[in-house]
Structure 1
């Protein structure tokens, strides 16, 4: 009867998540050679190739894709078995920018809980600048935000592309100010929009809404105004009106993960966060 080696399965999941033997070794605090040996041991034991490796890419084989969910479940059961003998509870405060949080957030939190059942997760939603300031003050263990122009640190999780979205029936008459809905003067995405409009000399008038992102979504979906959204998070039923009304192109940004955690369990939790975010976006 075949049995699974926990460390070998961990190596496989890390390689699958990070798509790199080097990054997997860093995340597991070991060497690239050791990761390769563990993967080979797992593949030999299963009699299946799990990872396809070329000079330019590392990706799951067909068998690896089938095995990945089961491997995660195996590691989760292993962690839960160990945690059943421990009463240690840990608290993790994660900040997620409101304009970044999307459908991957429940997946991310479920993955974290499965990875470490003793981990209590507190999530704070705010704009990127507020979260970055809180992170710098030590109030957050980690933050997923849009990259700020004055910061180059943090782990890049993926690109973020923006567009001008409105209801299909939205009308803007030439010569009149563009009706723009925004969250607040402190919102970085608002600054992105107004700066782009100012650069081409297009006048705009702002609809200030006190109800948060849901109020902005409702105003845009109702055809009352336009707003800048990430292309993956635009409200349902809206369309990109940039070309139709001659609105300026918007620069892309990046989503980054900031953290100062260094202990092995916390680093593993961060790897889980990053991989769940990348996996959903892919």
Structure 2
């Protein structure tokens, strides 16, 4: 048989098959993209490339909800089988790890009850691999939007972005217990970098009191902020959960009004894996316990 007479044996890309299956299951390119942690345009492109490869339209886009065509139904059966085999192979080669969940947490949650709860979950579910990243809320949210994280807990202004769950965040003014500096003029502030959480609110609150201010210390590290305050480099605005015996909380006696504009928010895909949902429920329980 000559080369030109050989049958055309297409090699089906698993990412293309996964995209078609997800769109068919969700009935929407937008929802499928969110679940795949991708963009709608990327998912659409994968579907179009697969349709060009097989020479058939696989999805009917004429209605509000997307449905598979007859050719699509045929392909979906084989696609699900191939994806299942691929997952089984990955499981066999990964030593039994069946699910990997990428979690993003702010630095003030990467300790204590949160880590204890996640570690306990991992002991109960040894086949679930947790990849936990700590950092600033804005960086974690950007990573989530790029599809690099499956589940994030972040701090944000209340109702600034619709979340799967949220809880008002209690924040307080901190000063050093041993080296207080609130009485200094101008008052030194210990802050996160520009555009960092709480920074503008700190400055606005100090100016509303008629006090002058200066930046005494800036850091992206929560531990650095805590140490700077404890050692008398300035006052700061932080969640109550990170107070230590080296800190003194400032309140109405010093002229500070409560700041109630922040919340802790949890984000995951609208059709998240049950394991992701279970982990989200753990984080929600922690937030609710703190509020009691």
Alignment TM class, shorter chain as reference: 0.5 to 0.7
d(CA) in 2 for partners of 1:274, 1:128:
17
d(CA) in 2 for partners of 1:276, 1:161:
14
Aligned partner of 1:213 among 203, 206, 222? 222
TM-score norm. by structure 1 comes to 0.61
| Contact persistence 1:181–1:216 (CA under 8 A) | yes
| Contact persistence 1:115–1:269 (CA under 8 A) | no
- How many residues align? The count is 198
Q: Classify the secondary structure of the residue corresponding to 2:237.
A: strand
d(CA) in 2 for partners of 1:158, 1:87:
36
Q: Classify the secondary structure of the residue corresponding to 1:265.
A: helix
Structure 2: runs of 5+ lacking an equivalent: 1-90
| Contact persistence 2:186–2:214 (CA under 8 A) | yes
Matched, 1:228 2:228: no
Distance 1:115 1:158, change over 3 A: farther
d(CA) in 1 for partners of 2:256, 2:290:
30
Matched, 1:255 2:264: yes
d(CA) in 1 for partners of 2:120, 2:226:
28
Distance 1:153 1:237, change over 3 A: same
Distance 1:195 1:125, change over 3 A: farther
d(CA) in 2 for partners of 1:208, 1:248:
23
Aligned partner of 2:152 among 143, 152, 162? 143
Matched, 1:241 2:263: no
d(CA) in 2 for partners of 1:100, 1:217:
14
| Contact persistence 1:166–1:239 (CA under 8 A) | yes
What's the counterpart of residue 279 of structure 2?
A: 269
Q: Classify the secondary structure of the residue corresponding to 1:188.
A: coil
d(CA) in 2 for partners of 1:281, 1:251:
13
Q: Classify the secondary structure of the residue corresponding to 1:232.
A: helix
Q: Classify the secondary structure of the residue corresponding to 2:134.
A: strand
| Contact persistence 2:164–2:265 (CA under 8 A) | yes
d(CA) in 1 for partners of 2:261, 2:113:
20
Structure 1: runs of 5+ lacking an equivalent: 1-82
Pair member with larger Rg:
2
| Contact persistence 2:151–2:276 (CA under 8 A) | no
What is the 5 A alignment of 1:37-186?
87-149=96-158, 151-168=160-177, 169-173=179-183, 176-186=185-195
d(CA) in 2 for partners of 1:251, 1:269:
27
| Contact persistence 2:108–2:241 (CA under 8 A) | no
Q: Which has the larger displacement, 96-105 or 212-221? A: 96-105
Distance 1:173 1:236, change over 3 A: closer
